[in-house]
Chain A
Amino acid sequence: MLLRTKGISRNVSEPLVGRVTRNTDKLDGNTFLISESELPEIPNKNFKGILTNNDFTEKDFAFPTVSKIPTFEHLTEGDIVAVGNDGNINTLYRVNSFHNTLLATERCNSNCLMCSQPPRDKNDIPRLYDIHQKLIPLIPKDCVELGISGGEPTLMGELFFQTLETLKENLPETEIHVLTNGRSFAWHNIAERLAQIDYKRLMLGIPVYADYYKVHDYIVQAKDAFNQTILGLHNLARYNQRIEIRIVLHKQSIPRLTKLARFIYKNLPFAEHVTFMGLEYIGYTPHNIEKLWIDPHDYVEELGEAVNFLAGQGMNVSIYNSQLCVLPENLWKYCRKSISDWKNEYLPECKSCTKLNDCGGLFTWNLKKHSQHIKPFVE
């Protein structure tokens, strides 16, 4: 699944954000026209610009254009893109997807061994904030859920809260799911600022990888991270913010997993949701694979005990990124089809599996690193 393409731009001075359409009747000041054939005439109405496979670089148009774009097949009517003066066309929002996410920044103050989006120490926040301020008003009001991710979104400082305020105003019916390490909320003023927004549809997904600070700090490769995250969680709870706790399952987090489950129940019982997530073979993970890899089949006992304990105490628990054949049947009810469509795959042998429709499958990049125990169910 393609999420970006590139051409040659003209008259694009600052990043432009707009919907795309192939239909000239649908044009307005916020919409780009996709033109896959010789343009008969310039539309006699307001529009944002023209995106084309043709070559308009010599033409003397006053409006923004991007020429020689290799393909538009990934773009559906109504999708929203950002067009840069470097000719990059990044898809920001896909109308047919349930998994749209805004990338807040690539900066991060942690450096997790298994980070799927390795950080970059460059201040991209002003640029990305600007793009999102343009994007949010264009997102369809019936958008069910929107994610905010990174890097670490709270590094945006006040701009983070302003982004949330913009979302609340423009998309009052949309559930917002922010992925954050939660460390900034250890500073009380940050938690308080979030509470001011009074955003009932906001949920924060925060990872806790061990009950013992040393193991957690090692996994996230940041000193004091555990203490800051736990304090952050408590400050958030003080203000009744909705919280999800996320745990990635790998060789470093499995040994203390059942102890972590009890730690969560005793110290963080206010969590609305706890998710146990299979390892993604992307980002830093391949580099650190010796430290991380454990065949999921080999941790079903620990996972089962942790999940059953928390669920048994009435907490809301899910298992993400796991295949049904690898887990015992009593855990299937916690498995979700969590992998975003554009990165979701199955093995060739899965084609004949009777449970194919219920199973979450694998990440595209996990096709080369997965459990040895995947096999189809036969009837």
Chain B
Amino acid sequence: MKHSNFVKDGEVTAFADTSLFSKDAILKCLYWFGDKFHTNVSLADNFFQITLKPLANANVKEDELDLYLQKLERDLIDFQLRDTIAKETQNVRDLLVAKAFSNGEFDEEPQGNISDPVGFNPNLNA
């Protein structure tokens, strides 16, 4: 079942497919809307349903809501990208920081070989 995003009755509603968006990405995205909107997320048939309702004193005009929907759609993608990067790079990042605060105990071996045709081997000098 396909869902379309819409603006109705002064509220913005958007749907995010759970196979494309993670909960972390959605929550982090919505965090930034909290100064102007009351945000709500719920889950139903593999879609997150997100609603943004302007806060009373936020000064959000009715005709701006379309723009906010566009911003929400774009931000959801951006935050999903950030989530992907964070998850994919977590191990390297941990390794990087561990090495940064080490004293060289965890240094890598150099890659490849010294490639001397006559056979010099730096490891023999150890």
Contacts and interface: CB of A to CB of B under 8 A. Distances in A.
Interface string B99-118: 00000100100111111111
Given A224-B115, A227-B110, A228-B110, A187 B122 contact: yes
B32 interface: no
Interface in A135-166: 152, 155, 157-158
Contacts of B4: none
B42 interface: no
A155 B120 CA distance: 6
A113 to B, nearest CB: 16
A110 B115 CA distance: 8
A121 B112 contact: no
A187 B112 contact: no
A183 B107 contact: no
Interface in A107-149: 107-110, 121-123
A92 B58 CA distance: 84
B123 interface: yes
Interface residues of A, number: 27
Contact of A224 (B104, B113, B116, B120): B113
Contacts of A184: 114, 120, 122
A228 B110 CA distance: 6
B124 interface: yes
B125 A193 contact: yes
Interface residues of B, number: 17
Contacts of A188: 107
B92 interface: no
Prevailing SS type, chain B contact patch: loop
A243 B118 CA distance: 27
A231 interface: yes
A56 B53 CA distance: 109
B1 interface: no
Nearest to A228: B110
A187 B107 CA distance: 11
A291 interface: no
- Select the residue from B112, B113, B114, B117 with max chain A CB neighbours within 10 A: B114
A223 B104 contact: no
Contacts of B44: none
B126 interface: yes
Contacts of A186: 110, 122
Contact of A228 (B107, B111, B125): B111
B122 A109 contact: no
5 contacts: A157-B120, A189-B123, A193-B125, A224-B113, A224-B115
Interface of A: 107-110, 121-123, 152, 155, 157-158, 183-184, 186-190, 193, 222-225, 227-228, 231, 238
Interface of B: 104, 107, 110-118, 120, 122-126
